[in-house]
Amino acid sequence: MVAPKISLSGVTKAFGPKKVLQGIDLDVAVGESMVVIGGSGTGKSVLLKCILGLLQPDGGSIKIDGEETAGINGRGRHRVMRKFGMLFQGGALFDSLRVWENVAFGPIQSDGMLPAQAREVAIAKLGAVGLGPEIGELFPSELSGGMQKRVALARAIAREPEIIFFDEPTTGLDPIMADVINDLIVKCVSDLGATAVSITHDMASARKIGHRIAMLHEGRLIWQGRTAEIDHSGDAHVDQFIHGRAEGPIQMQVRRL
Amino acid sequence: MSLPLITLLGRMTLAFLAAVGAVAAFAIEAVRQAAQPPWYRQQIIRQMLEIGYFSLPVVGLTAIFTGMVLALQSYTGFARFSAESAIPNVVVVSLTRELGPVLTALMVAGRVGAAMAAEIGTMRVTEQIDALTTLSTEPFKYLVVPRLIAGVVTLPILVLIADIIGVLGGFLVGVYKLDFNDAAYLRNTLDFLQFQDVFSGLVKAAVFGFLIALMGCYHGYTSKGGAQGVGMATTNAVVSASMLILTFNYFITEAFFAR
């Protein structure tokens, strides 16, 4: 039995009186692609940010390669962060920098690569997401949403991370571009041999990029299993979610018209 | 009736103290980070251009008209006592000690402090600051430290330029409107000027530069809630920087000149 790449146990996080995560247990094996699904406001982003170290969990343990990372700072955090790549929901490209400078940012600023060499890397990574070198000279604001997402993906993989996180990778894209992004994610993750954790509420995306799926509801993981098993989960919450029904055990807090 | 008032007062006091504490913690963290490598030299140069070079037109205009109006106003006062010869000295001392640093800082706070808060605030709400962290770049070092260093270094240079342009403004009005002899005006300007007059102004400028950058970065860095949050951060950055400039101005003046 190989030790899991990422191992969470009993992770809790509250903002004031609002308990967002109420004891999350999750293991992700090396090279596995885990997708966390759940409705808006169920704490998916918070979970991701806790694993990344952008938020400090209130309790529980988060182990990366068997090393406890909850509560580490400074140099230790820096070393763990080096293993990560992250694709943000809105892309989060630096709008004051050109596209290639965005992709080369990690290699230049953190790994001390020379700009000329990093530029080559950036152009290669842009090529890997289907963008030509001429795109590298543009600014992020000159790109369409789908292209921004691809540049953000190129930036996330530029340092060849061991673990890649995807925050709602297909949100805000048309179905065709969403599928293009899904394909790119599958390709990039398998090319790098990386471990992936994605959060999404797009089931088509979840089925395509995930080896395993876990469902987050009210701060707890109520179901997890292989992607193929999700249609026979036997859980009413999961069924309601994957079929997108308004009626079911999950009640939205809306008043009747 | 009196209890709610006391409650309100207490709440306001607590909120004020919490804000002061948060700003102080932010400032200490910034200075701590500024003291250790790596330093992002390109960012520092970019910010120095932004704060210094591109503020020159605004600061120059402010300075020349301030110098001109100072000469004009002091003439109406001093002429009554036949003390016109004191005008060059009044102009240069007012400029170097007070008006140069304070007006320059207020103009820069409006121009640059607002831009800093808006830029960093937008980076915060679009997750660009989180993205920096995931790329193993400390956002404090990359965003805050260069702005603070640039503020502290650049403001004194701006103020020195403002002093010179302000004196020129006074000189123009003195010579061409009030019929001073040009050589006599310059002699009167320089004869009574002390090193401390200029130096105290430059110390003020460095402190103001720190305050402007600190407020711009703090409000931007802690902004939340989309466009409205960024708008509020911008306003708060300018207002709080202006208040702090005027407050610190008094205390630095007292430290230098009170007997």
pLDDT digits (tens, 9 = 90+) for A194-224: 899 999 988 888 888 989 999 988 888 888 8
Residue B147 lies inside a defined structural domain of this protein? yes
How do the pLDDT tens digits run along chain B, 259 residues long?
567 888 899 999 999 899 899 999 999 998 998 888 888 888 999 999 999 999 999 999 999 999 999 999 999 888 888 888 888 998 999 999 999 999 999 999 999 999 999 999 999 998 899 999 898 888 889 999 999 999 999 999 999 999 999 999 999 999 999 888 989 999 988 888 889 999 999 999 999 999 999 999 999 999 988 888 999 999 999 999 999 999 999 999 999 887 6
Whole-angstrom CA distances from B114 to A71, A175, B120, B239, B243 are 35, 40, 10, 10, 14
pTM value is 0.86
Q: Among A171, A198, A175, which Cα is nearest to A186's?
A: A198
pLDDT in tens, B178-188: 888 989 999 98
Q: With respect to residue B113, please indicate whether it lies within any of the assigned structural domains.
A: yes
Q: Which of B43, B135, B140 to mutate to test the interface with A (most CBs of A within 10 A)?
A: B135
- Partner B contacted by A166 (CB < 8 A): no
Q: Looking at beta carbons, which residues of chain A come within 8 Å of B136? A: 78, 81-82, 106, 109-110
Yes or no: say if A201 and A4 are a contact pair by the CB < 8 Å rule: no
Q: Residue B31 domain-assigned?
A: no
CA A198 – CA A219 distance, rounded (Å): 17
Q: Which domain holds residue B187?
A: 40-257
- State pLDDT tens for residues A148-180: 988 999 999 888 899 999 998 888 888 888 888
Say how many domains are in chain B. 1
Neighbours of B246 (CB within 10 A): 13
Instruction: Confirm if B224 and B174 have CB atoms less than 8 A apart.
Output: no
Bridge-partner residues for A195, per DSSP?
A: A163
Is residue B195 one of the residues assigned to a domain?
yes
Count the Cβ atoms, other than its own, within 10 Å of residue B167: 27
Cβ–Cβ under 8 Å, residues A38 and A215 = yes
Q: Which residue has the tokens 């409107």?
A: B177
Fill in the amino acid letter for A32: E
| Chain A residues close to B127, C-beta within 8 Å | 88-90, 92
* B134: in domain: yes
Interface of A with B in 16-45 (CB under 8 A): none
Query: Which tokens in the block code for residue B41?
Result: 């030299």
Within-domain flag for B21: no
What single string gives the DSSP state of each residue in A51-86?
A: HHTSS--SEEEEEETTEE-TT--HHHHHHHHTTEEE
β strands within chain B, DSSP E: none
Helix (H, G, I), strand (E, B) or coil at B102: helix
Task: Establish if B34 belongs to a structural domain.
Answer: no
The arithmetic mean of pLDDT across residues A121-142, rounded, is 89
Chain B CB within 8 Å of residue A15 CB? no
In a 10 Å sphere around its CB, with 0-12 CB exposed, 13-18 middle and 19+ buried, how is residue B203 labelled? Answer: middle
Residues of chain A positioned with their CB less than 8 A from the CB of B131: 86, 88, 92-94
Cβ of residue A92 closer than 8 Å to a chain B Cβ:
yes
**Separation of alpha carbons B251 and B258, rounded Å:** 10
B186 lies in some domain: yes
| Amino acid identity for residue B17 in this structure | L
